Chains A and B, each alone.
Chain A
Amino acid sequence: TQLLEQSPQFLSIQEGENLTVYCNSSSVFSSLQWYRQEPGEGPVLLVTVVTGGEVKKLKRLTFQFGDARKDSSLHITAAQPGDTGLYLCAGGSISNFGNEKLTFGTGTRLTIIP
């Protein structure tokens, strides 16, 4: 079973601060996705990275896929209360049918204090 550990598990910071969330595994993944989940709702995709070393930016969010495709990070600049939520990473691996299936990380619950 592939495991994805996220750290920290909980993070509470003041509005305007920067933060980084980590997603680590001993397994190699074909892709890495990041989702955000609001209370009472399902996760929503933020980004997909597929190449080792790849960096993607989504406004104030920067996502990086590790060179060995075993880890990833999410950096938020000047955090805002709207960034509050549960952040989940998910690693892709090939299923028995040749499709990619996802293994989700343990999650980081982020709270931005106004």
Chain B
Amino acid sequence: NAGVTQTPKFQVLKTGQSMTLQCAQDMNHEYMSWYRQDPGMGLRLIHYSVGAGITDQGEVPNGYNVSRSTTEDFPLRLLSAAPSQTSVYFCASSYSPAGRFYEQYFGPGTRLTVT
């Protein structure tokens, strides 16, 4: 079991470039989410998904797109990178069948710098 994997681990982009952060999980979890972590602000939810084909926005969705074509994968796309998107990005998954009190399993993170 690899758990939650994220690639790449580090990335430097120029303003205006686009890219996709990859996230995969092998635990057959329905619920997946993307967070960004900035100093002094904890983790903020960008987008989440409750199953293949079903996604919704979190607190800070602007500038990011997601899709969920399979249970395993949940990529995050930056459409036109901006310096404000410099952050550490975490993907998480959990088993959450319209229920509560679930544990989220986090990936190791992607450190993104936009210059």
Using a CB–CB cutoff of 8 Å, the interface residues on chain A facing chain B are 1, 4, 6, 9, 30-31, 33, 40-45, 48, 50, 88, 90, 92, 95-107
B85-115 interface (Cβ within 8 A of A): 90, 92, 96, 98-104, 106-109
List chain A residues, Cβ under 8 A from B34.
none
Q: Is residue B19 within 8 Å, beta carbon to beta carbon, of the partner chain?
A: no
Contact A104 B101 (CB under 8 A): no
Give the shortest distance, in Å, between B70 (CB) and chain A (any CB): 18
Q: A42-B109, A106-B41 are in contact. List 16 more A-B contacts (CB 8 A).
A: A30-B100, A33-B103, A42-B106, A42-B107, A42-B108, A48-B101, A50-B101, A95-B48, A97-B50, A97-B54, A97-B98, A101-B48, A104-B35, A104-B45, A105-B42, A107-B40
* Per-position 1/0 for B21-48, Cβ under 8 A of A: 0000000000101010000111111001
List chain B residues, Cβ under 8 A from A96.
56
With CB as the reference atom, state the residue of chain B lying closest to A6: B42
Q: Is the interface of A mostly helix, strand, loop or mixed?
A: loop
**Most chain B CB within a 10 A radius of its CB, from A40, A95, A98:** A95
Give the shortest distance, in Å, between A90 (CB) and chain B (any CB): 8
Q: Is residue B83 within 8 Å, beta carbon to beta carbon, of the partner chain?
A: no
